[in-house]
Amino acid sequence: MDKINIAQKLSLFKDHWNPRIVGELNGQHVKLAKFQGEFVWHKHDNEDELFFVLEGKFKMEFRDKTVEVCKGEFLIVPKGMEHRPTAENEVSIMLFEPATTLNTGDGAKSNLTKENLEWI
């Protein structure tokens, strides 16, 4: 049982839209990621996702509304709901989601799809 220093882990990478795994519990991965720009529209038919903002802010776009999520806030996207995260400036995120969750969801894969995530 080692503690995790989030700032130290975030300092290990600079790229966007490439989550890293920092922990696992009860079949869930705890991931860190940096976002900037627009992601792809996608959904997860069988998995909820929790996005917790560590630094910065981002917008989660849904087909019928947009929700801004700021530092210290989190948003849970229910399974089956189409969404697209966007960030004008870089944002650091902690994600909680089932270990089986593919970042681009259940649809067609894109150049942003990450199938084998790195543990840091």
pLDDT tens per residue, range 61-96: 999 999 999 999 999 999 999 999 999 999 999 999
Query: For 106, left (φ over 0), alpha (ψ -120 to 50), or beta?
Result: alpha
Find the angle CA(75)-CA(105)-CA(36) to the nearest 5 degrees: 60
Q: For residue 70, what are the domain limits?
A: 6-105
pLDDT tens per residue, range 98-119: 888 877 777 667 777 777 788 9
Pairing assessment for the beta strands 74-77 and 28-38 based on DSSP bridges: unpaired
Query: What's the pLDDT at 108?
Result: 63
Query: What's the pLDDT at 41?
Result: 93
Q: What is the pTM of this model?
A: 0.88
Whether 44 has a pLDDT exceeding 70, the answer reads yes
CA-to-CA distance for 113 and 90, rounded, in angstroms? Answer: 19
Give the number of domains in the chain: 1
Do the Cβ atoms of 49 and 81 come closer than 8 Å?
no
Q: Percent helix, strand, coil in the chain (nearest 5)?
A: 5, 50, 50
- CATH number for the domain including 54? 2.60.120.10
